[in-house]
Amino acid sequence: MILSRRKTHFYASVVLACTLSLVFLAGLLWRPTIPVVNESVDELFAIANFATDDRTATPPDGAQRISGDGIEVFAETIAASGGAAFLEVQPVRSLQYANVLVYWQAGDRPPEAAEDATPTQTISQNAVLLGQLSGTSRRRFPLPASIQGQDGHLIFYSRGQKTLIAALPLTLASN
């Protein structure tokens, strides 16, 4: 390179390095803050036709409402043709937990939630995994014949937060 071009290139590099650093810092300082979602944004959700949390689910016919530990659900045992039985579960309000698994555990005593507990520590080995539940959607879980007509607990466990959400007492009707 020619000496005059080297000097120009050097000074341009220094100016660019300083300018870009200042622009980056200014961008960090003057960036807009992301607002926290609160009641003021409910209007925006309503305009976009999203469901809000104050909307509660309508109960299915014959379903019983059970609640505890901040969870409310409608639960109903349904007998289908051929002797198959199903447990229909619908949350009253949208669930605010990630990857909610529903278990059935027979017995009078609910499982105890413990700190740093894994599902095997909080939920008995005899518990039956029924499936996953989310939002306010109604889900129908098939019931094995061995657990029909028993007293027990419907257990809600969040895999996302790795925590036992609730254990609700429920008697399953037999066919």
Do residues 127 and 147 make contact, with C-beta atoms less than 8 angstroms apart? no
Q: Give domain status of residue 30, yes or no.
A: no
Q: Give domain status of residue 106, yes or no.
A: yes
Higher pLDDT, 7 or 56: 7
Question: What number is the average pLDDT over the span 94-112?
Answer: 81
pLDDT at position 159: 85
23-59 in b/e burial notation, b at 16+ Cβ within 10 A?
Answer: eeeeeeeeeeeeeeeeeeeeeeeeeeeeeeeeeebee
Tokens in use for 21?
């650093």
Q: Give domain status of residue 27, yes or no.
A: no
Query: By residue range, what is the domain housing residue 126?
Result: 64-171
Q: Give domain status of residue 46, yes or no.
A: no
Do residues 163 and 157 make contact, with C-beta atoms less than 8 angstroms apart? yes
Q: Give domain status of residue 57, yes or no.
A: no
Q: How far is CA 125 from CA 48, 52, 78, 94, 99, in A?
A: 44, 37, 26, 29, 20
Tokens in use for 156?
């809600």
Q: Give domain status of residue 1, yes or no.
A: no
Tens digits of per-residue pLDDT, 53-94? 555 556 666 778 888 877 888 888 888 777 788 888 888 888
β-pairing verdict for 163-171 and 151-158:
antiparallel
> How many domains, in total, are found in the chain?
1
Place of tokens 């599902």: 119
Say if residue 26's pLDDT is above 90.
Answer: yes
Q: Is residue 116 very low, low, confident or very high in pLDDT (cuts 50, 70, 90)?
A: low
Question: What number is the average pLDDT over the span 156-167?
Answer: 85
Q: Give domain status of residue 74, yes or no.
A: yes
Q: Give domain status of residue 159, yes or no.
A: yes
Q: Domain with 118 in it: what CATH number? A: 2.60.40
pTM of the model: 0.61
